[in-house]
Structure 1
Amino acid sequence: MKSNSKLKKVKPLSTNKSVDFNFREQIMHYLKRWYWFAVGLLICLALAYIYIRYTIPKYNVSASIMISQDDSMGESELAAFQDLGLLENKSNKIENEIQIIKSRTLITNVVKRLKLNVQYFSQGRVLETENYPESIIEISLLAPDSIIQSASKVFKVKIVSNTKFSLLGEGDEKLSDHSFGNTIKTSIGDVVITPNFKEIGNKKGETIKIQISPIKWIAESYRNGLGIFPVGKNSSVVQISLNDPVKEKAMDIINTLIDEYNEATINNKKQTSARTATFINDRLDLISGDLTEVDDEAAGYKAKFGLTNDISAQTQRVADSDTRNLQEITQLSTQLSLIESTRSFILSQEGRYDLVPANLGFDDPNITNTATRYNTLISQRNRLLTSSSEQNPAVININQQIDGLRQVLIESLNSLKGAINIKLNSLKTQDRYFSGKLYNAPIRQKDLRVIEREQTIKEQLYLYLLQKREEAEITSHVTLSNAQIIDRATTIGSYPVSPNKKMIYVGALFMGLMIPFLIIYVSELLNVKVRSRQDLEKVLTMPILGSIPRTKTKDKIVVSRTNRSGIAEAFRILRTNLDFLMAGSNKKKGKVIFVTSTISGEGKTLVSSNLAKTLTISGKKVAFIGTDFRDPKFHNFLDLPKGKDTEGFTNFIMNKDLSPQDVIYAEKSEDPMDILPPGVIPPNPAELLMQDRVAEMFVYLQKHYDYIIVDTAPVSLVTDTLLIGHYSDLSIFIVRENYSDKRALQVPENFHREKRLPNMAVLLNASFNQGGYGYGYGYGYGNQDA
């Protein structure tokens, strides 16, 4: 066997010393625990498989629509208000339309239309599969709609024959037998279950679960699951997507939602046209009555005074000019009348949030654009109020925009009215001039002209309103929806989007490696115990004797002539290394070796007893002494005549009648060594060790033995060992792997620097890893037990 005879001595400890990072050492911490990673990977991959196996797959279904944005305010004088936030920009309009599409009202209509609150499931070996769009049976609820919409119930139906079925309980126990088509009384009212196939008997023994849920729950569930977002930043194309285990169901939901949205927008536009038509009809009724009165007045005046249409040539030229002037006055008067009617409607509290008549033909295009924009905001407000309240921020924002537009519209009308009045005053001045010229004309003809003038105004206004009513009727019958369908709902790919097997397995691999890594890393980070020989080399400047491997044997004395286990070889190598450490000693015999440690439990008695046994086997005369008078372990390792109460060192010190031979015992085994047990436990161990009898005993031992192995007390707890330290030729300091605190290594280091114990060396006990550290006793021997 090859032994490492050279003892490594590290550089002196320095307070400014920086320990280099040893990558190989760090890797070894993890490679030594490779089974942790194997177990972590196995558990995480198993959990991933179970999750995927028992999770219902979901598919992604999406559709694309383009929302109309015909209403433009780019050329309107109101465009200046857009920067103030009073008017809605394009992106805000798209966002408002998205909120309308996602409103509870529309989604609830979809749920009711598709009867999504009633679900049918076929029970499989692992998962339940939803039957959609058709199940082998169908349930009909006979209760009122108010009860059906809030009902929550689960039925388990087992097919017995073509005409019979059984209702099962939660544990699949039979509750009752029924016939298809018969009324069944339940907690949610009467229900009727009917088959959807004639040969339903072929499904005998199959169980169908019918789950009835409140409509608002289902609607809210799909509302939260819907993804509605613009395709681009400035695009009016909107994508609607939904993840669901049943692809056909998701497609029906999206397509029906688009249809519901289009129907809602069309109804809103028809409502606008209807309100416009109603306003025009009311004005027509009023104007029609005025026109009839003027016609009757003109006819009665002519009949009363017998007037004809013949006019003198002299007044004809003035009359022609006056006629053109009157036409302009008539047109302006019509505009003023229309302006005043519109102003009265807008300023009335009853019409505060009603639609104003559109396309009334004002000469100012800004007024027409403003009225169109005003009606658009009123329509949007009405749509939002169908699924929200007055306190909704979006409704408040639209209210503010409507108020701003109303004010602008009134100001525009006032401005137009002022301009018309100025022009009208000018024309009236000219009219008075022409009237003066015609003063000499027959007064009756003049009066008749006044009547005809009023008649013309009423007639033009009446014809104008008739035209607008026809336009409103045409618009109401050719109304288009806001949404243009680009792509109907369809699935993206044939594979489910959830669960994502690839990502789950990758995540499981990552977690399977990361969790053990973090556990090991944190344990290493928080660990303050000595873990290896390197921990000693980093701190201590004294020689390192080597290490004693950990053993599973229950034997205390593991060394014998025939034992070739790893731990036995370690003690043999330790015996060899003692010669190198004590090579400078002039003693031929009586070499005293102290075995000590920082605290109790680090293996002093184990190491010292087996070291003494190893020296005995080599043919040396060895005395094994116990000086730990406070907590001796001798009786646990050696067969003493009276066990723990055997007379020993303390008895020798206290009783001067005893000689060394009286307290020294020969071991009862092959290759016996002599033993000096600690003796009875005294009340004053430190004072006893200061007695002259201690020196007398060591003189005797050095004279009669080759080696004296002394099992001492821990140095950090009591001063006992330091009191007799000057008798030592070699002090072996025991450090136990995974037991001794690294912070306590400063204790032996200080003793070594201050030379409080002579010729100190450190020994690592209970070492787990022997590869490459120490003496090579693992090679060829393995970990054989004694």
Structure 2
Amino acid sequence: MEQNETPTTEARAAARQGLTDKAIDLRKLLGMCRKYWYWFVISVIICCSLGYILYKRSTPVYSREAQVMVVRADNGSNSEIASSFSTMGLFQQTPESWTQMVTLTTPSVMLNVAERLKLNVAYTVEGQWHPEKLYGSTQPLVVEFPGLDTHGYATLETTIEPGGKIRLGQLRTNTEKGGSKVIDIDKTVNYVGGVELQTRAGLIKITPNPLYTGGPITEPVNMTVTHSSLYDTAVGLSGRVVASLHPQSDQIIVLTLSDSNPQLATDILSTIISAYNENSLKERAEIAEATSRFINDRLNVIEQELGSVESNISSFKSAHMLPDVDAASSMYMEQTNSASNALGDMTTRLTMTRYIRDFMASASNSNTVLPANTGVQDVNIEGQIADYNRTLMERNSLAANSSPSNPLVVDLDKRLEGLRRALIQSLDNAIASLNTSISSLQQRRSESAGKVATAPGQARYLLSVERQQKVKESLYLFLLQKREENELSQSFVPNRIRVISEPVGSPSPVAPVRDKILIIAFIIGLLLPLAVLFVIETLDNKVRDKRDFSPLGVPFMGEIPKNSVPYGLRKRKTSVARQGIVVEKDNLDMINEAFRVLRTNLEIVARRDGLSGATVIAVTSANPGSGKTFVSMNLASALAIKGHRVLMIDMDLRRATLSTILGSDSKSAGLVNFLVNPSAYDNNISNLIVRDLNDQPSLDLLPSGTVPPNPAELLADPALSALLADLREQYDYIFLDCPPVEIVADAQIINSQADMTLFIVRAGLFRRSELPTLEQMYDTKRYRNMSVVLNGVSDMGDGYGKYHYYKQGYRYSK
């Protein structure tokens, strides 16, 4: 017998708390995993099979990567000034690589790419496991929908047949109301020389693809042609292309694109680079042309003004026959030279600034690119002009490919309006600043010129006119220089980006990864049954094995396996329970061995407690169905096999379960009849005892007899004590099969006649929350020498693995 250690008061309180708040027993969970190992095998096989099917049905994705280097633009003095301010920490410059990286993936560039490669028309065929996209050398023909606009949607089901024929099936198009229209064309045409077919949805044009390199089609191929909005295609492509800076150089941009067709991904990246460079060259050509027109217009005006000033000087000198002004006022001219030169520079800048201001304020120039290198010599204004031109070019490009009502065009118009207002404000601030500087210079010059008051008035007039000549001449020379610079810049315009690595990538797909999917499926296959077992164990609030009694101080007498008949190839399955006495001599099955162990434990307890004479054992349980009757008669049979004289008394007077199972008629006389009228049987109970049960000469039964109206009063009758005293002289063990304790009070009444009590607990029926009540019964000594027997244990693998060894040993010894 296993005797639990007597825990302390604190340990017992903690144990009771643990019985109500069940924790997960990892050892038991591992035991369940070992018992249901085939769950894991089946789950892993199913999950890995599903993972493999998922892998085969997933469309393979290939990755392509291209690297380009940003060619830094040389902005001359403006760049140097901006760099100086950045070094001083006044403001931070945005690296050009970041600007180019963002611009490369804008919808305007992607719209150009989608239009060139006709990406808004997709061709797919059903493969063995998944749809396959056709493109380039794998695409046998080209289908066009001239009747649809760039924002239209259409889906055409076709079948390519041998001999250059194609059968057109259903055509699904969108309607103006947002719905769809289905047209069943059902026509077969020959597309080898190209064909145009007029349908109710518009014209369809089919031509062979000159890039197709596949062999002749020998069997019908179902192909779906999908026409999408060009704008939506560009927006989707913009989200798929990833642009990032190289980790080792901020001048190198890495473009990455993943697609199910590797050739398509390569062509898209190559087209993005070429389209971006072409757009960049076009933008800079337009800016240079606008700059050239601006310079030529100003040169014509200044040339006329300069000619007029020179004519005035010549006429004045001829009329007044004046000598050289420098010789006449050499003493004072040096004082005014510096002021005049500075004033001329300021006047030039003021003139250019006012011109740009008037140019911006004119409504006719709202969509015209502003000239670059205007000579304003203001870093912020030059930057604003560049930003305005870049945004305007992007707006014009989008408007040319779509319409002015395009949401992107409208957004860019709003942004241009904000940039225009900000630029005009900056120009106004610059004009005010220049006017202030000019006023200061004029005051200084006036002070110096006042010293020439003694010179003739003609000299002062001539000096003023010559000063105008110098201003006009310096402005004229400045514009000539800018025109030459603009012409030189147009003669050699490098690309904004230069390819340093063509689009390349692995021939193997980057997704899906077979090993990764199978590993995840394998892990899921292991976790699913583990989770199920975990949930089962978590929600299980019933007593299952002897470990549940370890926190208690109640003696544990033993455990009995589930009473069932094993069957199957390896005897792992069981049928319904066997009725009656199952303990047999020389039977070495698990349930027989369990009762032998229980018999040994019972004998040890009887000797330890010093019980002399016959031992009266009361057998009860907490609730019906616990198997107390089954344990009573089989434990009694095990004792009888060993040679003990054993009597079983059916004390369950209401149900008489023991009597019924062992074949006694409920109308037959028994214990009740004797207690009610002992004189009717000559005060001798022997005539009512059923002897030699199950062919065992030392195993007897005293049936309950007729069901009485007052069982509790009858069991409390002193006649029962006298009867048991007489029977003690005749038997070694007397088993009292009592009713459950939760039903009636009979068990507690009967227990006063017993020497010890076996409390039967049914595995899977008795709740763990009731274990503290069981311990309270033991602590309060409600039942004499109480011990617990666990009945109906399903898994005896951990506790009774020794039986297999014991069984083999018995056979070997025989």
TM band (smaller chain): 0.7 to 0.9
Structure 1 window deviating more from structure 2 (553-562 vs 344-353): it is: 344-353
Secondary structure, in 3 states, of the residue corresponding to 2:591?
A: helix
Tell me how far apart the structure 2 counterparts of residues 661 and 189 of structure 1 sit (CA, whole Å). 111
The percent of aligned pairs where both chains have the same amino acid is: 24
Change (3 A) 1:517 1:592: same
Tell me how far apart the structure 2 counterparts of residues 73 and 657 of structure 1 sit (CA, whole Å). 131
User: Match for 2:94 among 69, 73, 90?
Assistant: 90
Aligned partner of 2:176 in structure 1 is none
Secondary structure, in 3 states, of the residue corresponding to 1:344?
A: helix
Tell me how far apart the structure 2 counterparts of residues 718 and 345 of structure 1 sit (CA, whole Å). 113
User: Match for 2:224 among 207, 210, 214?
Assistant: 210
Aligned partner of 2:514 in structure 1 is 501
Aligned partner of 1:48 in structure 2 is 51
Asked if the contact 2:649/2:737 (under 8 Å) is kept, the reply is: yes
Aligned partner of 2:499 in structure 1 is 485
Aligned partner of 1:4 in structure 2 is none
Tell me how far apart the structure 1 counterparts of residues 326 and 804 of structure 2 sit (CA, whole Å). 140
Change (3 A) 1:705 1:489: same
Asked if the contact 1:549/1:566 (under 8 Å) is kept, the reply is: no
Aligned partner of 1:731 in structure 2 is 757
Shift of 1:254: 1.6
TM-superposition CA deviations, 1:630-652 (whole Å, max 9, x none): 5654477333335xx76655566
Aligned partner of 2:748 in structure 1 is 722
Secondary structure, in 3 states, of the residue corresponding to 1:724?
A: helix
Tell me how far apart the structure 2 counterparts of residues 79 and 600 of structure 1 sit (CA, whole Å). 94
Structure 1 window deviating more from structure 2 (13-22 vs 269-278): it is: 13-22
Change (3 A) 1:449 1:15: same
Asked if the contact 1:60/1:244 (under 8 Å) is kept, the reply is: yes
Aligned partner of 1:14 in structure 2 is 8
Tell me how far apart the structure 2 counterparts of residues 107 and 635 of structure 1 sit (CA, whole Å). 93
Asked if the contact 1:161/1:200 (under 8 Å) is kept, the reply is: no
Asked if the contact 1:731/1:757 (under 8 Å) is kept, the reply is: yes
Q: Does 1:350 align with 2:361?
A: yes
Change (3 A) 1:620 1:433: closer
Shift of 1:483: 2.6
Aligned partner of 1:157 in structure 2 is 159
Shift of 1:169: 6.8
**What is the identity, as a one-letter code, of the residue corresponding to 2:94?**
K
Asked if the contact 1:595/1:734 (under 8 Å) is kept, the reply is: yes
Structure 1 gaps, min length 5: 1-6
TM-superposition CA deviations, 1:418-457 (whole Å, max 9, x none): 4454444444554565474234xxx6x9877766664554
Q: Does 1:123 align with 2:126?
A: yes
Asked if the contact 1:596/1:715 (under 8 Å) is kept, the reply is: yes
Tell me how far apart the structure 2 counterparts of residues 225 and 588 of structure 1 sit (CA, whole Å). 92
Aligned partner of 1:596 in structure 2 is 620
**What is the identity, as a one-letter code, of the residue corresponding to 1:472?**
N
Aligned partner of 1:763 in structure 2 is 789
1:558-569 equivalences in 2 (<5 Å): 558-561=582-585, 563-569=587-593
Asked if the contact 1:551/1:567 (under 8 Å) is kept, the reply is: no
User: Match for 2:318 among 307, 310, 320?
Assistant: 307
**What is the identity, as a one-letter code, of the residue corresponding to 1:671?**
Q
Shift of 1:498: 0.7
Tell me how far apart the structure 1 counterparts of residues 460 and 732 of structure 2 sit (CA, whole Å). 160
Tell me how far apart the structure 2 counterparts of residues 587 and 258 of structure 1 sit (CA, whole Å). 102
Shift of 1:620: 4.4
Q: Does 1:475 align with 2:489?
A: yes
Aligned partner of 1:754 in structure 2 is 780
Change (3 A) 1:125 1:408: closer
Tell me how far apart the structure 1 counterparts of residues 766 and 375 of structure 2 sit (CA, whole Å). 100
Shift of 1:129: 2.8
Shift of 1:772: 6.3
Aligned partner of 1:240 in structure 2 is 255
Structure 1 window deviating more from structure 2 (715-724 vs 338-347): it is: 338-347
Shift of 1:769: 4.1
TM-score, with length taken from structure 2: 0.79
Secondary structure, in 3 states, of the residue corresponding to 1:530?
A: coil
Secondary structure, in 3 states, of the residue corresponding to 1:65?
A: strand
Asked if the contact 1:318/1:438 (under 8 Å) is kept, the reply is: no
Tell me how far apart the structure 2 counterparts of residues 225 and 406 of structure 1 sit (CA, whole Å). 38
Asked if the contact 1:550/1:567 (under 8 Å) is kept, the reply is: yes
Tell me how far apart the structure 1 counterparts of residues 422 and 189 of structure 2 sit (CA, whole Å). 67
Change (3 A) 1:389 1:210: closer
Tell me how far apart the structure 2 counterparts of residues 556 and 434 of structure 1 sit (CA, whole Å). 142
User: Match for 1:671 among 681, 696, 701?
Assistant: 696
**What is the identity, as a one-letter code, of the residue corresponding to 2:485?**
E
Shift of 1:202: 3.4
Asked if the contact 1:549/1:768 (under 8 Å) is kept, the reply is: yes
Asked if the contact 2:658/2:737 (under 8 Å) is kept, the reply is: no
Aligned partner of 2:537 in structure 1 is 524
Tell me how far apart the structure 2 counterparts of residues 746 and 97 of structure 1 sit (CA, whole Å). 76
Structure 2 gaps, min length 5: 19-23, 172-183, 399-406, 566-574
Secondary structure, in 3 states, of the residue corresponding to 1:150?
A: coil
Change (3 A) 1:682 1:458: farther
Structure 1 window deviating more from structure 2 (725-734 vs 404-413): it is: 404-413
User: Match for 2:203 among 176, 185, 190?
Assistant: 190
1:609-758 equivalences in 2 (<5 Å): 609-629=633-653, 633-634=657-658, 637-641=661-665, 649=671, 659=681, 660=685, 664-665=689-690, 669-671=694-696, 673-678=699-704, 685-695=711-721, 697-699=723-725, 701-758=727-784
**What is the identity, as a one-letter code, of the residue corresponding to 1:152?**
A
Secondary structure, in 3 states, of the residue corresponding to 1:779?
A: helix
TM-superposition CA deviations, 1:147-184 (whole Å, max 9, x none): x542230423131323x3334579xx994433323433
Tell me how far apart the structure 2 counterparts of residues 501 and 575 of structure 1 sit (CA, whole Å). 60
Tell me how far apart the structure 2 counterparts of residues 106 and 199 of structure 1 sit (CA, whole Å). 30
Q: Does 1:438 align with 2:456?
A: yes
Change (3 A) 1:395 1:32: farther
Aligned partner of 1:544 in structure 2 is 557
1:296-445 equivalences in 2 (<5 Å): 301=315, 307=318, 317-318=327-328, 331-332=341-342, 334-345=344-355, 347=357, 350=361, 357-361=371-375, 367-382=377-392, 414-415=432-433, 417-431=435-449, 433-434=451-452, 436-439=454-457
**What is the identity, as a one-letter code, of the residue corresponding to 1:247?**
P
**What is the identity, as a one-letter code, of the residue corresponding to 2:157?**
F
**What is the identity, as a one-letter code, of the residue corresponding to 2:52?**
Y
Change (3 A) 1:772 1:201: closer
**What is the identity, as a one-letter code, of the residue corresponding to 1:273?**
A
TM-superposition CA deviations, 1:337-379 (whole Å, max 9, x none): 32332343455562799876544557xxxx3434432323324
Shift of 1:253: 1.3
Shift of 1:40: 3.2
Shift of 1:12: 0.7
**What is the identity, as a one-letter code, of the residue corresponding to 2:775?**
E
Shift of 1:683: 6.7
Asked if the contact 1:374/1:406 (under 8 Å) is kept, the reply is: no
Change (3 A) 1:343 1:681: farther
Aligned partner of 2:167 in structure 1 is 166
Change (3 A) 1:373 1:586: closer
Change (3 A) 1:426 1:340: same
Q: Does 1:109 align with 2:132?
A: no
User: Match for 1:35 among 38, 43, 46?
Assistant: 38
Alignment size in residue pairs: 754
Q: Does 1:276 align with 2:291?
A: yes
**What is the identity, as a one-letter code, of the residue corresponding to 1:570?**
A
Q: Does 1:290 align with 2:301?
A: no
Secondary structure, in 3 states, of the residue corresponding to 2:752?
A: helix
Asked if the contact 2:650/2:738 (under 8 Å) is kept, the reply is: yes
Tell me how far apart the structure 2 counterparts of residues 394 and 692 of structure 1 sit (CA, whole Å). 111
TM-superposition CA deviations, 1:33-72 (whole Å, max 9, x none): 4333323332332222222122122122112223455468
Q: Does 1:556 align with 2:579?
A: yes
Asked if the contact 1:68/1:484 (under 8 Å) is kept, the reply is: yes
Tell me how far apart the structure 2 counterparts of residues 755 and 551 of structure 1 sit (CA, whole Å). 34
Asked if the contact 2:142/2:209 (under 8 Å) is kept, the reply is: no
Structure 1 window deviating more from structure 2 (236-245 vs 135-144): it is: 135-144
TM-superposition CA deviations, 1:693-743 (whole Å, max 9, x none): 544553454455443222222234543211111211231222333443233
**What is the identity, as a one-letter code, of the residue corresponding to 1:339?**
R
Aligned partner of 2:189 in structure 1 is 178
Change (3 A) 1:687 1:273: farther
Secondary structure, in 3 states, of the residue corresponding to 1:757?
A: coil
